[in-house]
Amino acid sequence: MRDDEILTGSPLEESWLTLEQLAAACPVEPAWLRHHLEEGLIPHAGSVAGVWCFTSTSLVRARRMRQLERDFDAVPELAALVADLLEELDELRARVGSAGPV
């Protein structure tokens, strides 16, 4: 790497969390995560050699979903839909912010 190159990103982008670590960070039971994975509600997860691995994106999504389910008594599918919309909103805000002032 050259001295004039700029590194960007966040420290968690290349880190992986296990199912147990993600459950502790949310905080939820591992069974809650397994159920949501089986239903396809946490799409940012991967399985390596039979072990679930999660990124920081998975962590944010799982925390949002758990909060929606807890605070609004939302069913998992509704919480996933709202999480999808919030992720899109975050992406749009980032794109508008990176465009700079008009």
Q: Write out the residue range of the structural domain in which residue 39 sits.
A: 17-97
**pLDDT tens track for 36-61:** 999 999 987 888 888 889 999 899 99
Region 13-28 average pLDDT: 87
**Global confidence as pTM:** 0.77
pLDDT for 101: 73
Nearest-10 Cα torsion for 5, 11, 13, 14: 90
Q: How much is the pLDDT for 15? A: 76
Q: Percent helix, strand and coil across the chain, each rounded to 5?
A: 55, 10, 35
Question: Has residue 14 got a pLDDT over 70?
Answer: no
Phi, psi of 85 (to 5 degrees): -65, -40
Position 4 in a domain? no
Range 62-74 average pLDDT: 96
Q: Is residue 2 part of a domain?
A: no
The domain tally of the chain equals: 1
Is residue 56 in a domain? yes
| Residue 77's CATH number | 1.10.1660.10
pLDDT value at residue 16: 87
